[in-house]
Amino acid sequence: MSEYTPFEMIAYTGSRVLKDERIVFVGTGLPIIAAMHAQLTHAPNLYMIYEAGSLAPILEMGMPLSVGDTRAARKACYLKGLCGAFELTQRGCADYAFIGGAQVDMYGNICSTIEGHNYDKPGIRFPGSGGAGAMAANCEKTIAIMALEKRRFVKKLDFVTSIGFGDGAPDYREKAGVLGSGPYRVITNQALFGFDEATKRMMLLEVKPGRTPAEIQELVDFELIIPPDVKEMAEPTDEDLRLLRDVIDAEGYFLKRVIKK
């Protein structure tokens, strides 16, 4: 099996999570790549919503470089602008929200706004929600991607950008007035996480071959639920890598990025 990069593993795992005959609201970059890979493999009837307002475009002109790229409007069955896209989620027409983030806590709440406790003078200011806050509030299930680091998997967020299960109370989302069932998966290059139905806490589902659950726990600042049947993550085949590298992101806009240590 060929070697793969962390971003290729994340994109491939994201593809595996997506199911056929579903609608996914995608963010820029790896979510688009994952959805395109799914369409080319096991989910030909997976449809994408883009924030700029298109639903189910035919990507015959190549991968959109952003959610506002005109290629994301090519032969779309619905094209009504940003407000129209989010109206679709409020009508219950999005099965998945596929977003990124800088921090996540044990209940799937996500920060993509700041790093640091002082909002006015943070250590780092990130781009912010974009559409992620509304996507996490209105889509049926939220899928998040981020690097697996202790500074990202935290006990307490510096800022809540995208709502998850709040404080873990069973009725938190209902009382908050948001739709959907909430966080579904958190994808990293070293592990795949889900959420326990009873406690709403993050649960380890799969680990990268060669890693152990104990090693994954060391990279998380809160206590994970670790069931006895944690699986090994599937690795991309040579054909999967060909699709990712030569067909979907042939220019390497996203997959050839390097994680700085």
Q: Which residues are catalytic?
A: 51
Cβ atoms within 10 Å, residue 52? 19
Buried b (16+ CB within 10 A) or exposed e, 151-177: ebbbeebbbbbbbbbbebeeebbeeee
User: How far is Cα 114 from Cα 124, in angstroms, rounded to an integer?
Assistant: 6
Contact 25, 49 (CB under 8 A): yes
Contact 172, 199 (CB under 8 A): no
Which residues, other chains included, contact 29 with Cβ-Cβ below 8 Å and sequence gap of 6+? 100, 254
User: How far is Cα 169 from Cα 203, in angstroms, rounded to an integer?
Assistant: 16
User: How far is Cα 199 from Cα 128, in angstroms, rounded to an integer?
Assistant: 28
Buried b (16+ CB within 10 A) or exposed e, 88-125: bbeeebbbbbbbbbbbbbbbbbbbbbbbeeeeeeeeee
